[in-house]
Amino acid sequence: MTNSTQPIPSFRVGMGYDVHKLVEGRDLYLGGIKIKHSLGLLGHSDADVLIHAICDALLGAANMRDIGYHFPDTSADTLDMDSKIILRKTIDLLSTKGYRVGNIDATVCAERPKINPHIPAMCKCLADIIGCDVDAVSIKATTSERMGFVGREEGMAAYAVCLIVKG
């Protein structure tokens, strides 16, 4: 039973997950940066799996549905959209409810290419878009030990959790 007299907490957490297929003929974007690789992620936008997971975490924390609701893959407006724009618009949506990002912790699951060398650039890019300190953005990388669709290099996945704060 909900008590409408209870105040909404000044901080909230959210969780996001995204997956995209790896294909030839597409550039690979992760965390807002282009990474040299023989395959890219397939999607309606640029398919930046990391940014998409982060946006879902942020939107979920604010109880604002999900990325597909705000940026549908059936819309011509979002076709080939740079995911950095999606993240910026997500931050703007959060601000309409008075929230800002406290911190983000995300993990990219991929066999190749190696993600670790790109993490500092991704953290800086995301922090710049969000308008937060780079220390508030944590990105980690892992493989799936050659198991499943990630292990077979058919796709990549990303997980993200976030804390958003009022004010």
Decide if 22 contacts 153 (C-beta within 8 A): yes
2 marked among binding-site residues: no
44 marked among binding-site residues: yes
20 marked among binding-site residues: yes
Nearest alpha carbon to residue 53 among 93, 92, 83, 79: 83
68 marked among binding-site residues: yes
37 marked among binding-site residues: no
52 marked among binding-site residues: yes
142 marked among binding-site residues: yes
67 marked among binding-site residues: yes
10 marked among binding-site residues: no
3-state secondary structure 30-73: ECCEEECCCCEEECCCCCCHHHHHHHHHHHHHCCCCCHHHHCCC
19 marked among binding-site residues: yes
The binding site for a divalent metal cation consists of: 18, 20, 52
The binding site consists of: 18-20, 44-45, 52, 66-68, 142-145, 149, 152
